[in-house]
């Protein structure tokens, strides 16, 4: 084992050996990329896929047409890059649903995009570095590895940002939806009618939450039980506030208690929770202001207060 390690160290210390290894790796990358490109071309030219895409796109809008084309291109490659573990695949599916991507091919497109970026970015870096002869071979290899890492982890970062933005929009619209729901139920509407009215009223100010409530009403009309439709709402949103409301509604439906009274109690508790969260954020302001004070205000304060004294001392000592 030590002999093998010494041999590898000697090869890496030699510039010629490093160049040979780099050429071999580049050839492997080009081969894999060419194989993937051939699969893409085969998927794009497949008559069955093309006819299915044409039939589907005739009845849908332009966005749907683009998604069909992307799925057609990435379909042959996606099956080779999907994770084998069902746990990881289910977690990714849940994150995609919470981020608003509900297409059946969303998981395949996500992992195929990661694979294409992990292969395409190193190739792009190698091609660009060919026009910069001052960059050494070791640096090119390091940049290519960094590009591959970015290609693997960048989609996860982008997905997290989409998820956080959508959940923030849902969280901002939830208080208004709760107040409207309490008002509608107290006015005599049933739960399904109240959800439908709230979804219609929030379609302009909070379209994401309005769409989720409209889906609940659509599932109920399609024959899904209210409990199952409300649980599907929790699974699509992934917010603790909506989970608490759905749990309350499910218990109310199961035990036959008053929905209006239960919603009124939950609304009051939710207001108290929002007030406590606001007080918590206000209490943290003092701690958060320490760093701006130290970085920006204190240097200027010391310059104004101590600066003249330092200048006077320097002038006094310069006379000696």
Task: Round to whole Å and give the CA distance between 253 and 266.
Answer: 15
pTM for this structure?
0.66
What share of the chain has pLDDT > 70, as a percent? Answer: 73
The mean pLDDT of 74-95, rounded to a whole number, is 69
Whole-Å CA distances, 98 to 49, 95, 108, 164, 319: 29, 5, 17, 9, 73
Name the DSSP class of 190.
-
CA pair distance 35, 314, nearest whole angstrom: 73
> What is the C-alpha separation between 176 and 171, in angstroms, rounded?
10
pLDDT at position 55 is: 45
Task: Compute the mean pLDDT over every residue in the chain, rounded to the nearest whole number.
Answer: 77
Position 52 scores a pLDDT of 47
Confidence of residue 162 (pLDDT cuts 50, 70, 90): very high
Q: How far apart are CA 77 and CA 319, in angstroms?
A: 80
262 touches 118 (CB < 8 A): no
Contact 98, 106 (CB under 8 A): no
**Backbone dihedral angles phi then psi of residue 101, each to the nearest 5 degrees:** -100, 100
**Whether the Cβ atoms of residue 208 and residue 166 lie closer than 8 Å to each other:** yes
Taking phi over 0 as left and psi of -120 to 50 as alpha, with beta for the rest, 53 belongs to: alpha
Cβ atoms of residues 230 and 246 within 8 Å = yes
Sign of the torsion angle spanned by Cα atoms 161, 166, 167, 168: positive
Between 228 and 5, where is the model more confident? 228
CA-to-CA separations, 6 to 137, 190, 255, in angstroms, rounded? 21, 78, 74
Q: If we measure between CA atoms, which residue out of 295, 318, 314, 296 comes closest to residue 306?
A: 314
For residue 223, pLDDT beyond 50: yes
**DSSP sequence for 116-158:** HHHHHHHHHHHHHHTT-TTS-HHHHHHHHHHHHHHHHHHHHHH
Q: Please give the share of the chain, as a percent, with pLDDT higher than 90.
A: 4
Least-confidence region, from 2-16, 115-129, 276-290, 295-309: 2-16
């Amino acid at each position: 084992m030590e002999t093998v390690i010494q041999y590898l160290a000697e090869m890496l210390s030699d510039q010629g050996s490093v160049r040979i290894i780099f050429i071999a790796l580049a050839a492997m990358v080009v081969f894999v990329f060419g194989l993937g490109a051939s699969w893409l071309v085969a998927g794009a030219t497949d008559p069955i896929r093309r006819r299915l895409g044409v039939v589907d796109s005739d009845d849908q809008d332009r966005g749907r047409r683009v998604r069909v084309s992307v799925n057609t291109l990435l379909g042959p490659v996606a099956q080779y890059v999907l994770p084998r573990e069902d746990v990881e695949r289910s977690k990714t599916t849940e994150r995609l649903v919470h981020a608003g991507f509900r297409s059946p091919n969303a998981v395949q497109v996500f992992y195929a995009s990661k694979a294409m970026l992990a292969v395409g970015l190193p190739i792009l870096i190698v091609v660009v570095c060919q026009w910069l002869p001052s960059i050494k071979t070791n640096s090119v290899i390091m940049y290519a590895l960094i590009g591959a890492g970015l290609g693997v982890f960048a989609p996860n970062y982008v997905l997290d940002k989409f998820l956080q933005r959508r959940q923030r929009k849902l969280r901002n619209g939830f208080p208004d939806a709760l107040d409207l729901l309490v008002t509608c139920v107290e006015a005599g509407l049933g739960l399904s009618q109240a959800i439908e009215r709230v979804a219609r009223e929030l379609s302009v100010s909070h379209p994401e939450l309005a769409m989720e409530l409209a889906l609940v009403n659509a599932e109920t009309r399609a024959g899904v039980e209210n409990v199952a439709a409300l649980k599907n709402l929790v699974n699509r949103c992934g917010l603790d506030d909506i989970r608490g409301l759905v749990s309350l509604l499910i218990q109310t439906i199961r035990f036959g208690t008053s929905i209006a009274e239960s919603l009124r109690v939950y609304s009051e508790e939710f207001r108290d929770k929002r007030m406590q969260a606001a007080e918590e954020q206000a209490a943290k302001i003092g701690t958060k202001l320490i760093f701006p004070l130290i970085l920006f205000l204190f240097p200027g304060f010391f310059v104004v207060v101590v600066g003249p004294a330092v200048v006077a001392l320097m002038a006094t000592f310069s006379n000696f």
